[in-house]
Amino acid sequence: MNIPADLKYAESHEWMRAEDDGTVTIGITDHAQAALGDLVYIELPAVGRVLKVDEACAIVESVKAASDVYAPIAGTVVAVNDEATGAPETVNADAYAAWLFRLKPAAADALAGMLDADAYGRLIGDA
Amino acid sequence: MLNKTPLNAVHRAAGARMVDFGGWDMPVNYGSQIDEHRTVRGDAGMFDVSHMRAVDLVGAGARAFLRHALANNVDKLAEPGRALYSCLLREDGGVLDDLIVYYLREDFFRIVVNAGTAGKDVAWLSGLIAQHAPQLALTVRNDLAMIAVQGPNARLRVWAALPGSEAASAALKPFFGTMFDDIFIARTGYTGEDGFELMVPAVRAESVWQALAAAGVRPCGLGARDTLRLEAGMNLYGQDMDESVTPLDSGLAWTVDLASPRDFVGKAALTAQPRDRQLAGLLLIDTGGVLRAHQRVHTAHGDGEITSGTFSPTLGKSIALARLPAALGVGDTVHVAVRDKRLAARVVKPPFARKGQVLVR
């Protein structure tokens, strides 16, 4: 299972990347896309929406089932990936390239305490 | 403890994603369900359906017994090898199961029933036999594995994989079966494509599966089987119908002959029942999600409910079967509750797609 070392992870199977401009890019992990199966529909939050921690803010639907995506950190949505909504299969192809949304975090140290790649690997039994 | 088919180790070795399907440990996909679906529409794929159960009915008077036990009329089976789809009904018309019955000899019919219902079906049929035809023997064929090979190239690949099988099965018309050595070959399926269903001695299941794979048949999981059957407009027992509804509520009136004088279990109830519901197809017009089982359908004639829904790879749209008020007709617009939205969908007549072709728009 692909778990890049330069990303942070949430127990609800989102990945996070701290960008140079202070924003955080968020997507679902390779493990999550594999468990869901072929994705056919993605709904993302509106730009400007203020999210609380663990708030359901996006939906990914596969041929099998629908699943919520949660905000792993609090913040304001500053961008969404329209290419992912237009072609959900890109998330299956590369879950780390096909990001879903970008937040301006409410707290500067928002990613402190998030799982690193090793810890996430242990969580999904892929250590 | 989940039941395992004779091919369980083969699926696991191939890296299949396994799920609990009605108490059976079955492959849902081997990677991409949509790729597997497309392979069956365009080439050839195979499914392990060994969780389904063949039951042999043997003895004098087998036809007369089935004429009474089944909702469809086995008198349609005039030529040996011919298969018939039928519901098995309770006295009140509720659907115990749907099945395929093959006419092999006048004293030998083979019935293939669903996995989760096999025990119930055998108990029910045994009860009817004791009552009406105690000379008949019912034998559950746990010694058989079943492999469905489906797709426009399925027959060619079976013939390549199993030397000698072409001579035995090339003349088979759709919905006929025949013996080839120790394999029963039937030109049937659950995908809307041409192909064969093979009943193989369990001890030979792995070698047949590997021979088919070597001949270019792609292993496919039950996920693709579900999207293929739904595109083909075929019901799934336990989802689109069960004991709480009748064939007339389930789009299966074509399998029930109420006009002939023949009596059968459930006939009186069907004759008396109101015709206020139908099972229809839905095609999602709006975007905003995927149609799924149990979503509510709001219509001008009252509410209904989706019984099976998915994303159709062939149409590139979401499709469903839904139990709706009978007053609705093809072309009517309804609204489906998907999360917090009401999405417009059009009533269509299944099948949605068969033989690689889109059939609704």
| Rounded Cα gap, residues B55 and B138, in angstroms | 7
Among residues 309-328 of chain B, which lie with CB inside 8 Å of chain A? Answer: 310-311, 313, 318
Query: Residue B359 is encoded by which pair of tokens?
Result: 């059939």
Contact, B146 vs B158, CB < 8 A?
Answer: no
Q: What is the pLDDT of residue B257?
A: 84
* Strands laid side by side in the A66-70 sheet: A39-43, A56-62, A66-70
> What ipTM does this complex have?
0.88
Q: Is the CA virtual torsion B139, B142, B147, B148 positive or negative?
A: positive
What's the burial of A106, exposed, middle or buried (CB within 10 Å: 0-12/13-18/19+)? middle
| Rounded Cα gap, residues A12 and B132, in angstroms | 59
pLDDT digit string, tens, across residues A77-114 = 999 999 999 999 999 999 999 999 999 999 989 999 99
Residue whose tokens read 């293929």 = B228
Contact, B218 vs B43, CB < 8 A?
Answer: yes
Cα radius of gyration rounded to whole Å, chain B: 20
Give the pLDDT band (50/70/90) at residue A1: confident
Q: What is the pLDDT of residue B260?
A: 86
Q: How many contacts, defined by CB atoms under 8 Å, are there between A and B? A: 42
pTM to 2 decimals?
0.94
Give the pLDDT band (50/70/90) at residue B88: very high
pLDDT digit string, tens, across residues B188-220 = 999 999 999 999 999 999 999 999 999 999 999
Closest-CA residue of B relative to A59 is B289
CA end-to-end span of chain A = 10
Cβ contacts (< 8 Å) between B16 and chain A: which residues? none
Q: Is B295 on the interface with A (CB under 8 A)?
A: no
Pairing assessment for the beta strands B277-284 and B317-325 based on DSSP bridges:
antiparallel
Residue B123 backbone dihedrals phi, psi, to 5 degrees = -65, -40
What does the pLDDT average to over B258-281? 95
Q: What are the E-state strand segments in B77-220?
A: 83-89, 95-105, 108-113, 137-140, 144-150, 177-180, 183-186, 195-201, 218-219
pLDDT digit string, tens, across residues B310-356 = 999 999 999 999 999 999 999 999 999 999 999 999 999 999 999 99
Cβ contacts (< 8 Å) between A66 and chain B: which residues? 289-290, 292, 339
Query: Residue B158 is encoded by which pair of tokens?
Result: 């079976």
- Single out the residue of B332, B263, B336 nearest to residue B296, CA to CA: B336
- Single out the residue of B52, B57, B78, B80 nearest to residue B134, CA to CA: B57
Cβ contacts (< 8 Å) between B30 and chain A: which residues? none
Burial B2-24 (b: 16+ CB within 10 A, else e): eebbbbbebbeeeebbbbebeeb
Three-class SS of residue B92? Answer: coil
Q: Which of A34, A61, A92 sits opposite B289 (nearest CB)?
A: A61
Q: Which of A34, A59, A63 sits opposite B34 (nearest CB)?
A: A63
